[in-house]
């Protein structure tokens, strides 16, 4: 299947492709420029010591390419091979759909962030009243809860509930839709400008404050994928453009009043 994400045409071949039904929303008939292949084959090349070690993976360099050994409970369960024109995923025989779904997120992030004028922004985005609105916060704060409130009490439609690519084109920021969308699997292939960013925190009462740019920058750093040395100039330009947007700090509960207060403020301030 060939799909288009953030302007890239990608030939994608997954083991559990039929279960990943949202891929069909991005299917195209054009020729691909890149690929993502996933299989139960073994990765057999010899590796030296990793140059990056994290809780979730170790990374190795071999023959001018990056190899990522994915970890679960301190054991390797998959290998990801990053190439200039695509990504190979080598699965353990016990891997299920959710494993492949998570592994292929690394693949799509690599291709988009290295081959387009885009960065990854951990956020839940909606399209409402011709505006692209992004809710961001640490995991578990309530991004998806606020998204559901807007869907329930307005005509808002979710763009992506977790993994958003923000693309800079013609001096404007756009939310690039993406079938990889977090644990709730909520997305729509909707193109929109990005017009406002709301950083959330949990609160018993609902209150909104404008975020100073310095604090907005610090919060952004925790929710956007950090750049490689090759992408630092692009990353800086996109972040500078992001900081031109209105930022709100929204202490909120899970009631209808949270939607009403924020909706009124956005429609008043954002043109």
Per-position pLDDT tens, the chain of length 271: 999 999 999 999 999 999 999 999 999 999 999 999 999 999 988 899 999 999 999 999 998 899 999 999 889 999 999 999 999 999 999 999 999 999 999 999 999 999 999 999 999 999 999 999 999 998 888 899 999 999 999 999 999 999 999 999 999 999 999 999 998 999 999 999 999 999 999 999 999 999 999 999 999 999 998 877 778 999 999 999 999 999 999 999 999 999 999 999 999 998 7
Question: H or E stretch including 235?
Answer: helix 232-242
pTM for the full model? Answer: 0.94
* Contact assessment for residue 178 and residue 22, using Cβ atoms and an 8 Å cutoff: no
State whether residue 213 is helix, strand or coil: helix
pLDDT, tens digit (0-9, with 9 covering 90-100), for 195-233: 999 999 999 999 999 999 999 999 999 999 887 777 899
In the chain, where are the structural domains located? Answer: 2-116, 119-269
Give pLDDT, residue 231.
Answer: 84
**Which residues, 6+ apart, have CB-to-CB distance to 5 below 8 Å?**
26, 108, 112, 165, 176, 177, 178, 179
CATH code, residues 119-269: 3.90.228.20
């Amino acid at each position: 299947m060939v799909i288009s994400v953030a302007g890239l045409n990608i030939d994608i071949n997954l083991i559990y492709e039929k279960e990943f039904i949202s891929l069909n929303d991005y299917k195209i008939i054009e020729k691909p420029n890149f690929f993502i292949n996933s299989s139960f084959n073994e990765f057999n090349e010899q590796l030296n010591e990793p140059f990056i070690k994290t809780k979730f993976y170790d990374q190795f360099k071999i023959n001018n390419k990056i190899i990522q050994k994915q970890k679960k409970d301190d054991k390797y369960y998959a290998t990801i091979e990053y190439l200039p024109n695509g990504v190979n995923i080598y699965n353990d025989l016990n891997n299920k759909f959710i494993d492949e779904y998570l592994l292929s997120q690394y693949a799509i992030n690599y291709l988009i962030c290295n081959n387009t004028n885009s960065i990854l922004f951990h956020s839940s985005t909606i399209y409402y009243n011709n505006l692209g609105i992004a809710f961001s916060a640490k995991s578990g704060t309530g991004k998806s809860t606020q998204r559901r409130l807007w869907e329930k009490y307005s005509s808002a439609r979710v763009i992506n509930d977790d993994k958003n690519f923000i693309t800079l084109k013609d001096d404007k920021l756009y939310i690039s839709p993406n079938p990889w969308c977090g644990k709730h699997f909520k997305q729509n292939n909707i193109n929109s400008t990005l017009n406002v960013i709301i950083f959330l925190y949990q609160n018993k009462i609902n209150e909104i404050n404008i975020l100073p740019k310095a604090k907005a920058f610090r919060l952004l750093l925790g929710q956007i994928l950090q750049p490689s040395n090759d992408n630092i100039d692009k990353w800086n330009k996109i972040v500078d453009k992001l900081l031109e947007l209105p930022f709100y700090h929204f202490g909120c509960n899970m009631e209808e009043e949270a939607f009403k207060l924020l909706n009124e403020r956005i429609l008043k301030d954002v043109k």
